[in-house]
Structure 1
Amino acid sequence: MTGSATWRNWGGTASCTPSRLIVPQSTEALAADVAAAAERGDTVKAVGSGHSFSEIAVAPGVQVDMSGFRGVRDVDLDAKRITLGAGTPLHQIPALVEPLGLAMTNLGDIDRQTISGATSTGTHGTGGAFGGISTQIRGVTLVDGTGQVRIVDEDDPDLEAAALGLGALGILTDITLQLVDAFAIEAVEAPGDADETIDGFLDKVATVDHYEFYWFPHTTCTLTKTNTRLPASTPSNGPGKVRRYIDDELLSNSAFRLLCTLSAKQPRLVPTINQVSGRVLSARTYTDRSDKIFISNRDVRFREMEYALPLDAVPDALRELRTVIDRRRHRVSFPVEVRAAAADELMLSTASGRASGYVAVHRYHRDDTLDAQSYFRDVEDVMTAHGGRPHWGKMHTRDADYLRSVYPRFDDFLAVRDRFDPQRTFANPYLRQTLGA
């Protein structure tokens, strides 16, 4: 146990000063720490990389640093499964599974999170036939709210809660993932027209392996991304390292940061800047190892809200969002990101029981605070009118009453929580808001 200091998340939207900080190096040590905290009546919260924008990782009591739980615990090549320490960062996993000829079946576009943080908050990628990362889980080991070590495998119905548990059931120590044979992806990026892109979204999701697009507010410009899965033996081609560096680092990060900084200082210029940015987009095609296509480097700091909607509702919601931005005169420098995912059976997955489309909105971290807050409120009004479910790791204001209305298995999850954490050892303000007291 060590002294604690103020903790802040990456987006600057949450902070806390824990009463204690612990850095356990084994499941047994963690179990003893949790049992002792429960005996004292303290609350406990594990923290990963701090990449959630919500306050889900805020720890008013004991904060658990999971850096002692990293790396490979076990490999089952016949079943194509790997068991990892729950604190393993996503960006380290490709190097661990590539020598095995395997890969994760899908990823989001950011890989700074730990595997437990990503799965506990419902991180997902895109693809109408592919679920979020949590759907790849086949078993977990966790320490529950009494300090008991539990193994929850695929034959245990509690896995439908524990695979995406919000940190409310226990602290994950090991996670077993179902992998697939390694594969390559051909990525095709192309500029588009907003009306045509929105109108064609459902057809693209139905026919493309991994499809997403970005709409530039105040413009009719979009950037579409079409990713097609190919055999791992497919040669890498397309823009070389220098061109990729120019496109992905200088243009997507360095230049974009300058434009966002200018927009924050001069909001009236945002529509013009977005028009220029949208008009200079050019098409490109390239092929690489799957994780190198899925992942994008994001250096520009932002704040994010994302909602999952019934897939068919996405086009109408986007049209309403465009109208709201114009009517309310918001000045939004960040593109709106649109993706999709398959339905799954996890109790609190944003795609639980329904094929889902995702609409993510961002604001530069230095944008005017009042306008940013107003923008997020207006977006939330649009999304909740369509039965939207907020991403657990991103900004939202929903409470337990609302969430119960959009999650058919909400009370099933609470029943599991009552068994795993009867004293609410893992409670924090965020969980009291979203799951109820």
Structure 2
Amino acid sequence: MFLYAAWIEKKKDNVSVVWVITRLLTAVIFNQKNLPDRIEDLDETLTHHCTREKRLQWVKRINTVVKPRFVRRIIENRLNKDSPIHEKVILSFDEELSYSKTYEKDFPFRQQWSNWYGNHASEPLKIFVPGSGSHSKFEAISEQWGNYDYKGLEEVKEIISYAEAEGRKIRAIGSGHALTPIAQSEDFIVCTHNLNLTQRKAEQFIKPEFLNGFDVDVNFRNVKSKEKHFLFETSGGTKVHQLITALEKDGLALMNKGGSSIQAISGAIATSTHGSGIGLGPLPGMVKSMTLVGKGSKAYRVEPTNGITDPELFLADPEVQKHDIQLIQDDDTFNAVMVGVGSMGLVFSLIVEVQKSYKLYEERVIWEWETLKAKMLEGDLYIFINSNRNFEVLINPYIDETEENPSRKCLLTTRDYAESCEVPPIAKRERNYLSSFVSGISISGRLSPWVFNRNSQNIPRMTNNSLARLEDHAKKGGGFEDVSYKVLDQGLGELKFYGYAIEFGFEIEKAFEAVDVITKVCEEAKAYGHYLAAPFSLRYVKHCPGYFSMMNKSDMCMIEVVSVKGVTGTISLMKRIEAELLEIGAVPHWGLSLLPWSKEMVERAFPHYEDWKRHQAIFGGETFTNPFIKNILD
């Protein structure tokens, strides 16, 4: 009888989901006025009548239904009625935006490259694919992870020698994540996705005091303590999600990460990618040793003055001698190459500081921005921000004037070690159900700009609704608990490939002025129908000694302004925001910027510009430049 009742309940849940999705699709195609109500119904159904496994099954079913071209054409024809040509929906197959583009080692035809947004592209003379690893079969070759890829190292050296003999320049590419032309090259491109063979605990040549873990001072939640950290060696072309997989096999985890895991680890480090948490630095701050190949095909292992490598062990090794790898242990040199923006040579391998695998508990609470701002400023700002291990704020650029008591809304996200929190029994193992469901649907990214373009005047209200859906804490929803990388990841799925952003750093006290600038520019643009289609974020990051890190000056508040590809007016609006933020002293992000860069701008933003430039001439030289880099050097 019990099994029969369970079977009946399961059938009822399936019928409920079918009915709600049918009504939603009907609203999308025939009656958009009912769309908000249908979305509410879907959110409620996914929350109370659908398990994680069932949601994934429904994503697959919907993707199967909308895959045939004729189905997409039916949806297109209905949605594009009365739309201007530049806002028409084109539901072509989305494979090109849903995976990291790879290149074959000996591809016989001419090739093209572009960043994932598509605003920068090139047709290089040749794309090289060195390395003994495998992007597509990464886990299948896990038995080889303990080996160092000396064969790949020699391949890289040969490529550089060939380029210099031909008088060509080189840029290395990972995931093409940057919005700037930082990786663009019309000469030679080195695709690094097979430079991912080495994934191992760092033991070879390591000083005894670092071999089995070492104590580090931390300050989370305003409590100073010590944690035991470890060293892990990874190849430079490894994607962040691949590194997470390799670490997990050894019971280890990254100390922090950005919101996405698709980047190559060396690309993320080269642009000072970061997460949130004033007690946690950006990714380059986790690097303890970097092996790179620079101009003249010279290989270097670069570390701080008191580095982790035992010089005697290293220099006595036959392989090191055979491949002529020079050990440099010097703070000035290390700080210069740490954030090399692809111009110090090709980063071949890294040793990074990691910690034992851990869980995080996340809470997201809706605030009125002015109330939260006053709370942050009433005492010591640093202490308030450091009350949690991770602290970040999402702010609606607009005030929804249709509210009874209009005010600017924001969402405060905090995360702490789960073991240090009273995690309620109802805490979920997945973030917002609706966003995780929609982000898996293949056509969702193409449909998003249509929704915003057709209802641009409602964006202030839609943004508030989005923040409300994300609210999830101990007293409402239970919060979100899981292993660290799942909590730190944005979980945007397919939608990640349809968003873009600009980002800037400010000293933490000055960030409030920057918020006022952003909201002012957004308010002015409303009169012309130009809107940002997403909230912007404040993330607080610890100082980093890397000369070209955005956090080099001090602890910083990184402000990321986000929108959706295809929403009319947002590119122009974001350029105006960028210009005004630079006027008040913003430090631009190497990969997230729309305006042209200049030497003068970089000199103002990065105090150690001359030191970095001096080392670039030594390690990368002309070989590792492109027009973007030349523009900031000359």
| Alignment TM-score > 0.5, same fold | yes
Partner of 1:283: 472
**Larger CA deviation: 198-207 vs 393-402:** 198-207
Deviation at 1:153, TM superposition (A): 2.2
Is it true that 1:317 corresponds to 2:514 in the alignment? yes
Q: Distance in 2 between matches of 1:356 and 1:238?
A: 35
Structure 1 residues 297 and 257, CA, compared in 2 at 3 Å: closer, same or farther? farther
Is the CA contact (8 Å cut-off) linking 1:236 and 1:288 kept in structure 2?
no
From the two aligned structures, give the one with the greater helix fraction: 2
* SS of residue matched to 1:112: coil
1:336 aligns with 2:486: no
CA contact (8 A) 2:123 2:186 kept: yes
Aligned to 1:326, which of 500, 523, 536? Answer: 523
* Alignment correspondent of 1:63: 189
Residues 533, 567 of structure 2: 8 Å contact kept: no
AA of the residue aligned to 1:99: K
Q: Deviations over 1:41-72 (max 9, x none)?
A: 10111100111111111121111111221143
Aligned-partner Cα distance in 2 for 1:239–1:107: 23
Using the alignment, how far apart are the partners of 1:257 and 1:278 within structure 2? 21
Alignment-derived partner of residue 385 in structure 1: 583
Structure 1 SS opposite 2:590:
coil
- C-alpha distance in structure 2 between counterparts of 1:264 and 1:349, whole Å: 36
- Tell me, in whole angstroms, the C-alpha distance in 2 between the residues paired with 1:351 and 1:196: 27
RMSD: 2.4
Mean Cα displacement is larger for which, 264-273 or 323-332? 264-273
Distance 2:515 2:557 in 1: 11
Instruction: Quote the Cα distance in structure 2 between the aligned partners of 1:413 and 1:228.
Output: 36
Q: Distance in 1 between matches of 2:486 and 2:128?
A: 34
Partners in 1 of 2:535 and 2:193 — Cα distance?
A: 34
Q: Does 1:7 align with 2:157?
A: no
**Greater fraction of residues in strand:** 1
Shift of 1:170: 0.3
Alignment of 1:127-138 (within 5 A): 127-138=277-288
Aligned counterpart, 1:20: 126
1:53 aligns with 2:182: no
Q: Which amino acid aligns with 2:371?
A: E
Kindly provide the amino acid, as one letter, of the partner of residue 212 in structure 2.
D
Pair 69,200 (structure 1): closer, same or farther in 2 beyond 3 Å = farther
Contact 2:449/2:565 (8 A) holds in 1: no
Query: What is the CA distance between 1:245 and its match in structure 2?
Result: 6.8
Q: In the TM superposition, what is the alpha-carbon distance from 1:233 to its structure 2 partner?
A: 12
Q: State the partner residue of 2:405.
A: none
Within the candidate set 471, 483, 488, 1:294 is matched to 488
- Structure 2 distance, partners of 1:326, 1:127, is 30
Query: Aligned residue for 2:458?
Result: 269
Cα deviations across residues 392-423 of structure 1 (Å, max 9, x unaligned)?
1112423111110121101100000111123x
The residue identity in structure 1 corresponding to 2:502 is: M
Confirm or deny: 8 A CA contact 2:182 2:591 kept in the other structure.
yes
Matched residue, 2:364: 189
1:261 is displaced (CA, Å) by 2.6
Sort the Cα spacing of 1:361 and 1:233 in 2 relative to 1 into closer, same or farther, 3 A.
closer
Tell me if 1:180 matches 2:363. no
Preserved CA contact (<8 Å) 1:184 1:232: no
Aligned to 2:555: 355
- Judged with a 3 Å threshold, the aligned counterparts in structure 2 of structure 1 residues 200 and 306 are, in CA distance, closer, same or farther, namely farther
SS class of match (1:352) = coil
Alignment-derived partner of residue 222 in structure 1? 410
Q: State the structure with bigger RCO (CA 8 A, min sep 6), 1 or 2.
A: 1
Partner in structure 2 of residue 116 of structure 1: 266
Structure 1: runs of 5+ lacking an equivalent: none
In the alignment, the residues of structure 2 paired with residue 4 and residue 199 of structure 1 have an alpha-carbon distance, to the nearest angstrom, of 58
Structure 1 260/272 Cα, relative in aligned 2: closer, same or farther at 3 Å? farther
Taking only the aligned residue pairs, the percentage that are identical comes to: 20
Q: Displacement, 1:238?
A: 4.8
Paired residue type of 1:212: E
| Residue ranges of structure 2 left out of the alignment (5+ in a row) | 1-105, 132-151, 203-210, 214-229, 306-328, 400-407, 474-478
Distance 2:520 2:577 in 1: 11
Taking a change above 3 Å as real, the CA distance of residues 345 and 281 of structure 1, as seen in their structure-2 partners, is closer
| The one of 146, 151, 160 aligned to 2:335 | 160
**1:420 alignment counterpart:** 619
Aligned length: 432
Change (3 A) 1:234 1:416: farther
Cα 1:367–1:253, aligned 2, differ >3 Å: closer, same or farther?
Answer: farther
Amino acid corresponding to residue 324 of structure 1 in structure 2: V
Partner residue of 2:162 out of 36, 59, 65: 36
Change in CA separation of 1:46 and 1:276 when aligned onto 2, cut-off 3 Å: same
Look up the SS of the partner of 1:42 in the other structure.
coil
Contact 2:344–2:619 (8 Å) recurs in 1: yes
1:85 paired with 2:272, answer no
CA distance in 2, matches of 1:267, 1:103: 41
State the shift of 1:78 in Å: 1.2
1:335-357 deviation per Cα after TM superposition (whole angstroms, max 9, x unaligned): 10110101121100000031100
- C-alpha deviation, 1:182, in angstroms: 2.5
Q: Secondary structure at the match of 2:367?
A: strand
Measured after TM superposition, the shift of residue 239 of structure 1 is 4.8
Q: Write the distance in 1 (CA, Å) between the matches of 2:384 and 2:449.
A: 30
Asked if 1:407 corresponds to 2:541, the answer is no
Whole-Å separation in 2 of the counterparts to 1:167 and 1:189: 36
Give distance in 2, aligned partners of 1:138 and 1:233: 31
Contact 1:390 1:396 in 2 (8 A): no
Structure 1 pair 61–401 and aligned structure 2 pair: CA distance change class (3 A): same
CA distance in 2 between partners of 1:217 and 1:102 (Å): 38
Please report the TM-score for the alignment, with normalisation by the length of structure 2. 0.64
Q: Which amino acid aligns with 2:586?
A: G
Cα distance, 1:128–1:261 mapped onto 2, change above 3 Å: same
The SS at the match of 1:67 is coil
Asked whether the equivalents of residues 236 and 289 of structure 1 are also in contact (C-alpha less than 8 Å), the reply is no
Distance in 2 (CA, whole Å) between partners of 1:37 and 1:226 is: 48
Partners in 2 of 1:126 and 1:200 — Cα distance?
19
**Separation in 2, partners of 1:245, 1:212:** 17
Indicate the SS of the match to 1:146.
helix
Q: How far is the alpha carbon of 1:184 from its aligned partner? A: 1.6
